[in-house]
Amino acid sequence: MEKALVTGGAGFIGSHVVDALIDKGLEVVVVDDLSSGSINNVNGQEIDLYNEDITNSDLWRIFRKHKPDYVFHLAAQINVRESIKDPIEDARTNILGSLNVLKCSAEFGVKKFVFSSTGGAIYGEASKLPTSERQKADPESPYGISKQTTEKHLWFYKKNKGLDSVALRYGNVYGPRQNSKGEAGVISIFANNILCGKDSRINGDGEQTRDYVYVKDVADANLLAMELSGVYNVGTGIETSVNEVFRKIIDLSENNAFSSHEPAIKGEVKRSCLDSRKLVGKGWKTQYNLDRGLKETIDYFRSE
C-alpha cells in the first residue's frame, strides 16, 4: 500500500486531502501542530496523527518510521495580515518549516512533493486577469513572498537532490471545516455570522474580487498532482466580489443580516482571478460552481 504524509492534515484543506487519499486507498500519516487545525477534522479516519511542529528536527524520525511515497505539504501560517505584522514568524513556519519538510522528503526518496502555494497572493496586483502561471510572481505580502520562496526551493531540490514536485497555486478556497473565526475565509465567516443573525464587517468597499474554489475540487487537484510536475493554478477563472458573496449567502440561507464597511487592508490585492487551463488540460474539472459549493458550506455551518 502506498503511503502519503500530509502536513497540516488536521486543517481545513488538509483534512479534505486526507479524506480523498484514504478514498483512493493510500495509507495516511498526518503531521500537524493543531495550532489552527483540529482533531475533529480527521476524526474517524484511520491515520497516524503526529502533533508536531514542522520546524522541529524530530520530523526526521517520522519520515524514517513511515517512509512516505508522497508528501502533501499544507501546514502553514495562512494569515496575510499576521504575515504583515510579523514577517519573521511567517518565515519561520512558511520558509524554514517548508525547508525542513523538503529536506526530509529528499532524504527519504519521496516520489512526489505536492506543495500548497497561493494564486491569490503570489501574483500581486496582476496586470492580466484571469492570471496564468506565465505571469511573473510579484507578491506584495510576506505570506506571498514565503510561498514564492518555497516554490524556488522546490526547484532547487529538484535540480540538486532529484526531488520531484508540484506547486498548486490556489484561489480562495472555501467549504466545510473552514475556520470561521478570525480573518480566515470570508465565506465561512459570513455564513457563520448570517446563520447566527450577526452582522458582518467587510474590508474596504467590498468590490474587491476573488476566485472562489470549492475545497473538494482542490482536494481533487491534489490527487491529480501526484502524476504532475511544475506549477499549476487551481481556480475557477470567475471573479466574484465580496459584496456579491455576502448577498449570495443571504439569499441561499434565507436569513437576513447586515454588513458594515471597514478600512481596506494594506497588502491585499484589489482583484484576483486565476487561469487554470493548464491544470484543466491535465484532466482537472471543477465539480462545484459557487452556488452549489455555497449551499454545501451553508448546510455544514447550519449542522454545526
Q: Which residues bind ligand NAD (CB under 6 A)?
A: 8, 10-14, 32-37, 53-55, 74-78, 93, 97, 116, 118, 120, 170, 172-173, 179, 185
d(CA 132, CA 273): 9
Query: Shortest approach of ligand NAD to residue 32 CB, angstroms?
Result: 5
Q: Please report where in the chains the cell 498532482 appears, as a residue.
A: 225
Paired residues of 236 in beta bridges: none
In three-state secondary structure terms, 194 is helix
Query: Shortest approach of ligand NAD to residue 215 CB, angstroms?
Result: 8
Annotated active-site residue in 70, 123, 143, 214: 143
User: What is the maximum span of the chain, computed from C-alpha positions, in angstroms?
Assistant: 56
Query: Shortest approach of ligand NAD to residue 102 CB, angstroms?
Result: 14
Query: Shortest approach of ligand NAD to residue 54 CB, angstroms?
Result: 4
Query: Shortest approach of ligand NAD to residue 197 CB, angstroms?
Result: 26
d(CA 99, CA 53): 13
Indicate the residue among 89 and 199 with the shorter CB distance to ligand NAD. 89
Pairing of the two strands 172-174 and 240-241 = unpaired
240: part of which helix (H) or strand (E)?
Answer: strand 240-241
Active site residue 123: no
- Minimal CB distance to ligand NAD: which residue? 37
Indicate the residue among 168 and 202 with the shorter CB distance to ligand NAD. 168
E-strand ranges in 79-199 read: 112-118, 165-170, 172-174
* DSSP codes joined into one string, 45-105: S-EEEE---TTSTTHHHHHHHH--SEEEE------HHHHHH-HHHHHIIIIIIHHHHHHHH
Cell of 99: 525547508
Indicate the residue among 44 and 197 with the shorter CB distance to ligand NAD. 44
Indicate the residue among 180 and 259 with the shorter CB distance to ligand NAD. 180
Indicate the residue among 76 and 231 with the shorter CB distance to ligand NAD. 76
Indicate the residue among 14 and 206 with the shorter CB distance to ligand NAD. 14
Paired residues of 6 in beta bridges: 30, 72
Query: Shortest approach of ligand NAD to residue 280 CB, angstroms?
Result: 18
Q: Which amino acid is at 73?
A: H
Q: What is the CA radius of gyration of the chain?
A: 18
d(CA 19, CA 4): 12
**Residue 162, CA atoms < 13 Å, CB-side half-sphere:** 5
Cite the active site residues.
143
